[in-house]
């Protein structure tokens, strides 16, 4: 019975992909039989040795540990974006590689100082290392100065695959939340605020219309009760 197809996919700086077709065992056995019988020429022998060498090198490379790979996500945690209200931005970095990521930098250049005030946190963050299968997070709190339609783009990340100075530098980007609408604060309050001041004003205005008729009714009822009590005593 012939062997099923095998595919090895190695994620590294240069991806090495080896495909063993399901007919490979039978073809290899045929070549070995021809070599044993002395049918192959020197040129074909060199080609065959080169092919076998490439396969062996690829298999050895596939067994080596992969490099660090970081996936980064950028999220806006607010349900509504409002002028002069806190806007919370969260960053999550995941190392899905097989080795440690060193000297990791997160650089946010999307929020201009003319458009946003930084309330808490920093637009840049740094981690010395992120081990494999580990994640880190970073939060920054801003306040939009104006109401507008704003495009939340990606932040930049960069890290090294080793501790040495000549280690390769990898540059990537986070996910992009996309475009969001920042509400004008007065318009937002009209639609979504609890309106406590409006309800208090309404109650104060209804006191005369409800209180004065109640006082008149209570005075007339009290007079009627007194006169009825006096009449009952005379009888």
Within 13 Å, how many C-alpha atoms sit on residue 92's CB side? Answer: 9
Helix, strand or coil for residue 155?
coil
CB contact set of 5 (below 8 Å; sequence gap of 6+): 19, 20, 21, 22
Helix, strand or coil for residue 104?
strand
- What confidence category does residue 198 fall into, taking pLDDT thresholds of 50, 70 and 90? confident
5-14 average pLDDT score = 37
Instruction: Tell me the Ramachandran region of residue 27: left when phi exceeds 0, alpha when psi lies from -120 to 50, beta otherwise.
Output: alpha
Which percentage of the chain shows pLDDT scores above 90?
Answer: 48
User: Among 88, 105, 100, which Cα is nearest to 180's?
Assistant: 88
- What confidence category does residue 44 fall into, taking pLDDT thresholds of 50, 70 and 90? low
Q: pTM to 2 decimals? A: 0.59
CA distances from 4 to 7, 19, 30, 52, 209 (A): 10, 11, 18, 20, 89
206-233 average pLDDT score = 75
């Amino acid at each position: 019975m012939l062997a099923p197809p095998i595919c090895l996919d190695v994620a590294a700086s240069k991806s090495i992909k080896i495909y063993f077709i399901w007919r490979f065992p039978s073809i290899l056995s045929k070549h070995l039989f021809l070599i044993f019988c002395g049918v192959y020429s020197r040129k074909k022998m060199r080609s065959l040795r080169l092919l076998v060498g490439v396969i062996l090198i690829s298999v050895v490379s596939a067994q080596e540990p992969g490099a660090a790979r970081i996936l980064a996500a950028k999220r806006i945690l607010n349900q509504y974006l409002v002028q002069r209200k806190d806007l919370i931005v969260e960053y999550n970095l995941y190392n899905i590689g097989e080795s440690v990521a060193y000297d990791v930098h997160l650089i946010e250049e999307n929020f201009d100082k003319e458009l946003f005030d930084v309330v808490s946190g920093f637009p840049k963050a740094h981690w010395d290392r992120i081990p494999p299968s580990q994640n880190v997070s970073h939060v920054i709190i801003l306040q939009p100065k104006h109401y507008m339609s704003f495009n939340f783009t990606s932040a930049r990340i960069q890290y090294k695959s080793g501790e040495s100075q000549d280690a390769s530098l990898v540059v990537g980007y986070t996910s992009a939340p996309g475009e969001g609408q920042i509400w004008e604060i007065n318009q937002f309050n009209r639609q979504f605020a609890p309106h406590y001041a409006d309800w208090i004003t309404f109650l104060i205005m209804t006191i005369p219309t409800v209180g004065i008729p109640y006082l008149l009714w209570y005075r007339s009822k009290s007079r009627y009760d007194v006169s009825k009590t006096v009449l009952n005593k005379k009888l």
